[in-house]
Amino acid sequence: MKKKGLNPYLPSWEYIPDAEPYVFGGRVYIYGSHDYYNGHVFCLGDYVCWSAPVGALGNWRYEGVIYPKTEDPLNRDGKMCLYAPDVTVGPDGRFYLYYVLDHVSVVSVAVSDTPAGKYHFLGYVHYPDGTRLGERPGDEPQFDPGVLTEGDRTYLYTGFCGRGDTSRTGAMVTVLGPDMLTIEEAPVFIVPGCEHSAGTEFENHAFFEAPSIRRRGDTYYFIYSSEVMHELCYATSDSPKGKFRYGGVIVSNCDLHIDSYKPADLPSAYGANNHGSIVEINGKWYIFYHRHTNGTWYSRQGCAEEIHFEQDGSIRQAEMTSCGLNGSPLPGTGEYPAYLACNLFTKEPSMYVGGDRFPKIMQDGRDGDKKAGYIANITDSATAGFKYFDCKGVREITLSVRGYANGTFEVKNRMDGEALACIPVQYSNVWEDYTARLPLPDGIQALYITYRGPGNASLRSFTLR
C-alpha cells in the first residue's frame, strides 16, 4: 500500500538529522547522524539507514544499523559520537562512508559492497607519507565530510567555522586517489567562513558547517549551513574545485525569508542548526534538511521539500510544508497527527529553539519507544500550522487534546485570517476529542490552530470531515 509522503518523512519516533540522500537501484537511501529523543548532546546513536522506493516516497523501510560507533579503532570504548557522514560510490563500485568522530579532527572511511551495509572500517584519509589529514602542521581541523567521486578521483569537502574563531578559514576541498584514502591534491579553500567573508558575495551567508556536493548537468552545487545556522545555502561552479559563486538560500528551518504567507523577516518555526542536501528522484528535485523537536537542539528529525530550478540554474527557496515528499497537497479528509506541524510559534517571535518557553513537538516514553509524537506546552497564543490540504466539502474538525487548559482553540486557513472555528476545551489528563463546525472553503488550504486562554495543553491530532 502506497503511503502518503509527510514531514517528517520517517516515523515520529525516529531522529535522523544531517541527511545525505542518494538514489541507488531504484531506491532512495538516507545517510545521516543519529540523535536520541531527549538526548543531551548531538549524534548519540550508531549510524542507521532508511530507504524508500523512488515511486513511493512515503514507504520508508528501516535498513538497520549499518555502522556501529565502536567499529572505528579510535573509538573502541564508544565514548565518542559519530558526526554527520556522507557516502559515495568508488571506482571499484563499492560504497564508501566518510565521517568524523566528535573529539578528533581526522576523516575516517568505512566500506561496504551494498548501499545499506554493513560497513566496515577501512582507514583514515592521509597524505602520501601517511600523515592523516587534519594532523599535518597547517591543516585545519576536519569536520562534516561531503564526498563526490568522478572517475578515479574523489573530492572531499570539509570544514567548520564558528563565530569569533579567526583560525578557521572556510570550507575546503581535498582530492583523493582511487584507493579512496590517499590525498592527491592538498586542501584548498572554496567558500569563506564568517570571519573571512567581509566584502565577499558570501557576507551574511558565510560557511558555517555541513558541506555537501551535488552535480546537475555541468554545474556543481555546493550546499552548506550558513553562519546563521537555520538556513541551507548553495554556491555553484563549473568545476568541483571552484571557483564557487554564492547562489542563495534553499531552505530555512524557521522559514525565514519566505514571504508567501507571512512577512519575510518573521520566523514561523523554531530553528537551529541545519544540514542536508539535494537529490533528483523521478525527475523531481528535493532538498533534505532537519527540524528540531522537544525544545532542544539535540533531537532532530529529517524533512524534505520539492525545489525548483530557474533556467539559469538558480534555486528558489523552498517553503516548509507538512507534505514535502507527497508530490501534491494531502487529502482534505481524515485524521492527521499534530507532529506534522510545519509552523510552530507564539506571539513572541523566535527563530531558534527556546526550551519550555515555546510549544514543542515531543513524544511519550523513551528513545526507541514507538509512540507517536504530539505538540506539547501549548499556552496562550501558541499556533501550529499545517500545509497543505486539497479540501472538498470540509465542514467539521475534531481535535484530540489533553492537559490542564481551560480555553479555546481557533482554527484558521490563513495566519492573519478570521477564525473559522472556535473549540472550547477543558482540563483533562487523558486525550479527549472536541468537535466543531468548520466551513473550510474548497481548494488548496492551510490550517492554523491557535490556543487562547489559561493553562497548558497538548494536541495529538486533528480530523477533517
Active-site positions? 18, 209
* Helices and strands (H, E) in the chain, number of each type: 0, 31
Cα 248 to chain center, whole Å? 18
Separation between Cα atoms, residue 192 and residue 213, nearest integer Å: 16
Cα 162 to chain center, whole Å? 20
Phi, psi of 383 (to 5 degrees): -130, 135
Q: How many CB atoms lie within 10 A of CB 228?
A: 21
Q: How many CB atoms lie within 10 A of CB 439?
A: 9
The cell numbers describing 79, all together, are: 565514548
Contact indicator for 137, 129 with CB cutoff of 8 Å: no
The cell numbers describing 37, all together, are: 529523543
Contact indicator for 241, 190 with CB cutoff of 8 Å: yes
Strand 330-331 to 383-391 pairing: parallel
DSSP strands (E only) in 227-312: 231-237, 245-252, 277-281, 284-292, 300-307
Contact indicator for 369, 420 with CB cutoff of 8 Å: no
The CA dihedral of 36, 40, 42, 47, to the nearest 10 degrees, is: -30
Phi, psi of 9 (to 5 degrees): -85, -20
Residues 6 or more apart in contact with residue 220 via CB below 8 angstroms: 148, 213, 214, 236, 237, 238, 239, 240, 244
The cell numbers describing 107, all together, are: 576523516
Contact indicator for 242, 189 with CB cutoff of 8 Å: no
Separation between Cα atoms, residue 312 and residue 324, nearest integer Å: 24
Q: How far apart are the first and last CA of the chain?
A: 23
Residue 67's closest CA among 17, 116, 101?
116
The cell numbers describing 243, all together, are: 571557483
Phi, psi of 339 (to 5 degrees): -70, -5
Separation between Cα atoms, residue 303 and residue 7, nearest integer Å: 5
| 8-state DSSP, 347 | S
